[in-house]
Amino acid sequence: MYELIQVSDNCYYIQSPAKIGLVKLGENEVCLIDSGNDKDAGRKVRQILEANHWSLTAIYNTHSNADHIGGNKYLQAQTGCKIYAPGIECDFTNHPILEPSFLYGGYPCKDLRHKFLLAQESCAQPLTQDVLPDGFALIRLPGHFFDMVGVRTPDQVVYLADCLSSRETLDKYQIGFLYDVGAYLETLEQVKSMTARLFIPAHAEATADISALAQYNIDKVRAIADKIVSLCAEPLCFEHLLQRLFTEYALSMNFEQYVLVGSTVRSYLSWLKDTGRLQARFDQNLLLWEAR
């Protein structure tokens, strides 16, 4: 873990729970694509920088999930690097309490205020095309989170953030976290047709051909949607639907899974209602979901 892997003349990634991109900008200057999940990840990144006599100029956060911005504060304090994050993700990066609050739908209890969901605050600026180094390109990848982006480097290496998961992860956990199901499917269709020297997803193996994995992710999303519709053949309130999904997929409920899977299921319900596959009604002060 935290092995530095070179994939082109100037591009690397650091093998970690959420892969960290590293790109050389000159003889001694580098930038990072994300920063890992916590202070310890930041410390290990700093050790890699020092071992190679590299100076960190900037961290470009693809999105604001805690496992991608967790090393920000430590690395910024140690190196003085600038930090950038796209759109709404910049606000979440500057005020990370927003992530568990959003997931829970209110002030999060202590069980949700930990490094997995709550990163330390860092000072981020908006990530736009004009702040990237020459030859870099932002790729909009909404769906998994609000304004997530990927980065294409001059070496034609594409860092894909969390826009798809490995087959193993999907088969094990089934319901991957999503914010906007419709936008996510559009993103996957876009990714499926991309070409590059190498694609580096944060939670799957690096590959030169991303199309098959993108299609596998598409198929999984549609299978989950079909399952929800089938379970709603009879009217169900959200809690009973969530219980049945956990039982169906042999998932274990705890606070983290309740908010991550629960938020995702709500996103599916919104998408299925907006696309006409589900209807919602209130009965005896309960919101019930039912297949059309």
Q: What are the residue ranges spanned by the domains of the chain?
A: 4-162
Which helix (H) or strand (E) is 245 found in, with range?
A: helix 238-248
Beta strands in 122-231 (DSSP E): 125-126, 137-140, 149-152, 157-161, 198-201
- Can you give the pLDDT at residue 14? 98
Q: Which parts of the chain register pLDDT below 70? A: none
pLDDT tens column, 204-234: 999 999 999 999 999 999 999 999 999 999 9
CATH superfamily, with its number, for domain 4-162: Ribonuclease Z/Hydroxyacylglutathione hydrolase-like (3.60.15.10)
Closest CA to 199 of 19, 72, 4, 70: 19
Q: Which residues have C-beta within 8 Å of that of residue 143, sequence separation ≥ 6? A: 163, 178, 179, 180, 181, 182, 183, 184, 185, 186, 187, 188
Token digits of residue 141: 């990848």
Closest CA to 69 of 96, 101, 31, 100: 96
The single-letter DSSP state of residue 202 is T
Burial class (CB in 10 A: 0-12, 13-18, 19+), 21: buried
- Can you give the pLDDT at residue 18? 97
pLDDT tens column, 98-145: 999 999 999 999 999 999 999 999 999 999 999 999 999 999 999 999
Q: Which residues have C-beta within 8 Å of that of residue 94, sequence separation ≥ 6? A: 121, 122, 123, 124
- Can you give the pLDDT at residue 2? 95
pTM of the model: 0.97
Q: What angle do CA 31, 33, 37 make, to 5 degrees?
A: 120
21 within 8 A of 5, measured Cβ to Cβ:
no
Taking only Cα atoms into account, the Rg of the chain, rounded to an integer number of angstroms, comes to: 20
- Can you give the pLDDT at residue 35? 98
